[in-house]
Structure 1
Amino acid sequence: MDIDEKVSGPGGASQKNWTHLNTSDELPLDMRFNHGHMVSITVYSVLMVVSATGNLTVLSQLVKRRRAGRASRLDVLLMHLAVADLMVTFLMMPLEIAWAGTVQWLAGDLMCRLMMFTRTFGLYLSSFVLICIAIDRYYAILKPLNVTWEAHVRRALLIAWVCAGLASLPQSFIFHLEEHPDVKGYYQCVSYGSLPTESHEFAYFLLNMALMYVAPLLSTLYCSSAALLEIIRRANTANDKMRRSGVGILGRARARTLKMSVTIVLVFFTCWSPYYCYCLWYWIDKDIVNHLDPAFQKAMWLFSCTNSCANPIVYGVFNRNRWTWRSGAHVRNRGSSMRRGSRFPHGDSMEISAATLARARFSLHSERTSRRDSARSFVTQNGTQKHLNNNNKTNGIV
């Protein structure tokens, strides 16, 4: 949604006063199909193809894993994120393409309200699922044995869907079809005049910004920071039980989780920050922003939409080896007690259950006991190999 169309929520921040027009036979350039609309159609089409390809690929892989009974908690979250991005891809982007092609709104008031709801639903859902993923990674890295969160993941996802619907619902009441006062027969889907004052419009914009941008950003930053501090603390603790037990899988899982979380923050921040900074700039100094090239604002909004394309790339990069690795999953240790072909529960190397951890500890303990017994069993003394009793500790073995 562009600034010229009155934006109270996602997609823009304001509206130019389009009621003051010259009553000439020819419509102004911004009310006719122009080069800017052609660029918008081209860019949205490219984004749609890239996003559809990436998210459908990720979703198909996750569905295969679920059908095979190997879907992890993270896989379920990624599946919902892919669905959210596909909603942006197949609902919002085609709408933008069609709207840029017709310039004015031709679908009537009901479709105006309905499409404004669906237009933001996918964006909100994507943000709320990111919050769920941040919390999930927090528990996976700091509290891997906590079963409470695992039991509430599906409930958290349900809350994310409900919250996305509630956050998008005001769009159906704010946006409406309105005829141009000076050009008969020219209709546009706008939010102009729906809120009583500019203070209400600004408050609504801040609410949208808080839910769609600030909340997922802060939650991911907090969870990533907490994970980093915990890893540093445990790395510097000489008596760290996990480290002394030799279970290096936890360390590798934490490192990969931390990298993925930081990448999520960087990508999300990179995609959405320019747009929201531009919106805030508008509310601070409308006169300057209204004199800027409208193409600049369009570019900010288009760039924010690339987040739906970037998400499958981010998760694909960090889980590509895991998906490939699962086809011949194995855990390498110095010993052979954890044999090749062993798999983690639910197929997620970053989620280690209590049973798996207990087996790993038992296996390592057995391995060390076996090595100690072997060392005690054979010793060379005076050039002769003697068999020692395992319980006899008085034969010079140090």
Structure 2
Amino acid sequence: MSGERWSRPANASRWEAPAFGGAARFRVGATALLFAVAAAGNLALAASLRRRPPSRLRPLVAGLAAADLMMTFVAMPSDAVWNVTVQWYGGDALCRLLSFLKLLAMQASASVLTLIGLDRRRAVVRPLSARRGNRGALALAWSLSLLLAAPQLFVFGTVNAGLQADGGDGGDFIQCATHGAFGAPWQATLYNMFYLGTLYAIPLLVISCSYGHIVLHIKKAHARNKGGLRRSGADGVSRARMKTLKMTVLIVLSFVVCWTPYYLLGVWYWFRPEVVGFTPEYVHHGLFLFGNLNSCCDPLIYGFYTPSFRAELAGCRRRLRLRRRPPEKEREDETESGQRARRPVVG
């Protein structure tokens, strides 16, 4: 959104350019680790979904994996490089483009999670209703995400932070920020609050209502079945559908747990900007990393509830081990297997 990487602390007598300190080094190292896990998991998930039979949930999970991959290959590397260089050396066009793509990935992830909640509600509450595919709804969600992320192309840009500080004697220090894009502080706050609603508050409200309706439906079914014969599954919900429901609940919970601290701190900053000066630097870095952890959780949760996905990953690991083995070792194994095959069977 419109955070300032180079904000001047309220209690500072002179503006000082940020440096590549210990907290930033930790952030770069942790980002590299998260990148490796998220890239491997989401690429494997995308490949697995191509081989799975068609279902209502498959395009939604594919859309979520696409958003996670965009976050992985756009936001994480650019953030790591930016922390190493400290200044922004990518130019104005790249500044605007990366700001747009990062918000697009976040908007798409929130929109797809909302669709998943609505889809699970319909699958449980109205399982016999006329079913339509989710591809149209998914295309609409991505289109809406593109529209909502477009203002980033105009709000962000390169700014000489050194000349903006201390009456212009801070030297040259180029950053990618929103400084000067708003005529008054309340406009920046309104802009950020709008995106807080579209990225977090509104999706969380819709998802909570959807799963709340599912819980009420299951309770009512349980009450109806209490005095008579129980149908297969949990209170009228098939075992397969209940398993999918549990998986999607965990995916939504990972989104809420990973991003809630980041957004709460953002709200605090927007209304009390002076806290930037006395909040430890590692808190800024840690909460952003915790939000990026969400891109790693989605494929892990999907794999936990999908045995075929775990089997495919195990097969990939076996093939990788075979490729890494030296030719001499393979010939020894072939010789040993041949000798065992020719050995007579006794008894």
Q: TM-score, normalised by structure 1?
A: 0.70
Deviations 1:142-178 (A, max 9, x none): 1112225x24x11111111111111111111111111
Query: RCO greater where, 1 or 2, for CA within 8 Å and sep 6 or more?
Result: 2
Equivalent residue for 2:147, pick from 166, 175, 194: 166
Deviations 1:331-375 (A, max 9, x none): xxxxxxxxxxxxxxxxxxxxxxxxxxxxxxxxxxxxxxxxxxxxx
In the alignment, the residues of structure 2 paired with residue 209 and residue 278 of structure 1 have an alpha-carbon distance, to the nearest angstrom, of 12
Unmatched segments (≥5 aa) in structure 2: 164-168, 312-347
Q: Which of the pair is proportionally richer in helix? A: 2
Match of 1:132 in 2: 115
**Quick one: structure 1 residues 138 and 156, their matched pair in 2 at CA, closer, same or farther if it must change by over 3 Å?**
same
Q: Percent identity?
A: 32
**Quick one: structure 1 residues 322 and 175, their matched pair in 2 at CA, closer, same or farther if it must change by over 3 Å?**
closer
In the alignment, the residues of structure 1 paired with residue 261 and residue 19 of structure 2 have an alpha-carbon distance, to the nearest angstrom, of 27
Alignment of 1:144-163 (within 5 A): 144-148=127-131, 150-151=132-133, 153-163=134-144
Match of 1:81 in 2: 64
Contact 1:77-1:132 at 8 Å conserved across structures: yes
**Quick one: structure 1 residues 56 and 263, their matched pair in 2 at CA, closer, same or farther if it must change by over 3 Å?**
same
**Quick one: structure 1 residues 198 and 2, their matched pair in 2 at CA, closer, same or farther if it must change by over 3 Å?**
closer
Shift of 1:272: 0.8
Match of 2:48 in 1: 61
1:319 counterpart = 2:306: yes
Match of 1:48 in 2: 35
Unmatched segments (≥5 aa) in structure 1: 7-14, 325-398
**Quick one: structure 1 residues 242 and 85, their matched pair in 2 at CA, closer, same or farther if it must change by over 3 Å?**
farther
In the alignment, the residues of structure 1 paired with residue 233 and residue 22 of structure 2 have an alpha-carbon distance, to the nearest angstrom, of 60
In the alignment, the residues of structure 2 paired with residue 2 and residue 201 of structure 1 have an alpha-carbon distance, to the nearest angstrom, of 7
**Quick one: structure 1 residues 141 and 285, their matched pair in 2 at CA, closer, same or farther if it must change by over 3 Å?**
same
Contact 2:67-2:108 at 8 Å conserved across structures: yes
In the alignment, the residues of structure 1 paired with residue 92 and residue 240 of structure 2 have an alpha-carbon distance, to the nearest angstrom, of 51
In the alignment, the residues of structure 1 paired with residue 206 and residue 196 of structure 2 have an alpha-carbon distance, to the nearest angstrom, of 14
Shift of 1:3: 5.0
**Quick one: structure 1 residues 240 and 164, their matched pair in 2 at CA, closer, same or farther if it must change by over 3 Å?**
farther
Match of 2:92 in 1: 109
Rg (Cα) greater in structure: 1
**Quick one: structure 1 residues 267 and 256, their matched pair in 2 at CA, closer, same or farther if it must change by over 3 Å?**
same
SS at match of 2:127: coil
Deviations 1:173-207 (A, max 9, x none): 11111122034442111101201111111111111
Alignment of 1:204-243 (within 5 A): 204-238=191-225, 243=230
Contact 2:108-2:145 at 8 Å conserved across structures: yes
- Number of residues paired by the alignment? 304
In the alignment, the residues of structure 2 paired with residue 95 and residue 236 of structure 1 have an alpha-carbon distance, to the nearest angstrom, of 53
Equivalent residue for 1:123, pick from 81, 85, 106: 106
**Quick one: structure 1 residues 241 and 143, their matched pair in 2 at CA, closer, same or farther if it must change by over 3 Å?**
farther
SS at match of 1:147: coil
1:265 counterpart = 2:246: no
